[in-house]
Amino acid sequence: MTTTLGELLRLKVPTKFVLKSLFAVPYLSESSKTPNFGRIQRADVSADSQKTQIKHNWDWLPVQHSHHGPRHVTVLCHGLGFFDKTPEALPRFQLHYWGSIIEAMRKIGTELIIARVPSTGTIAERARALHAQLDGLLEPGTKVNFLAHSMGGLDCRHLITHINPQSYRPVSLTTLSCPHRGSPFMDWCRDYLGLGRVIPKLSQANADSTNPATAPNHKMEDEEFILKETAINKAIPLSSAILTRTMLARTIDCPAYANLTTAYCNKVFNPLTPDSDQVKYYSFAASAPTSFPIWHPLYLPHLVVSEAEGNVNDGLVSVESSKWGQFVGTVDCDHWTLRGRGLPGTKFDVDEFYRGLGTFLYKEGF
Tell me whether strands 280-286 and 326-331 are parallel, antiparallel or unpaired. parallel
**Dist CA 314 CA 346 (whole Å):** 13
**258 — pLDDT class (breaks 50, 70, 90):** confident
Question: What is the per-residue pLDDT across 57-102, written as a single tens digit (0 to 9) for each?
Answer: 566 666 555 899 999 999 999 998 765 555 566 555 556 788 889 9
**Dist CA 248 CA 256 (whole Å):** 16
Question: What is the per-residue pLDDT across 275-327, written as a single tens digit (0 to 9) for each?
Answer: 999 999 999 999 987 678 898 889 999 999 999 998 899 999 999 999 999 99
Q: So what's the pLDDT on residue 257?
A: 87
pTM of the model: 0.76
**Dist CA 152 CA 107 (whole Å):** 24
Which domains can be identified in the chain, with CATH numbers? 58-184+277-363 (3.40.50.1820)
How far lies 205's CA from each of 85, 129, 196, 343, in Å? 27, 13, 16, 35
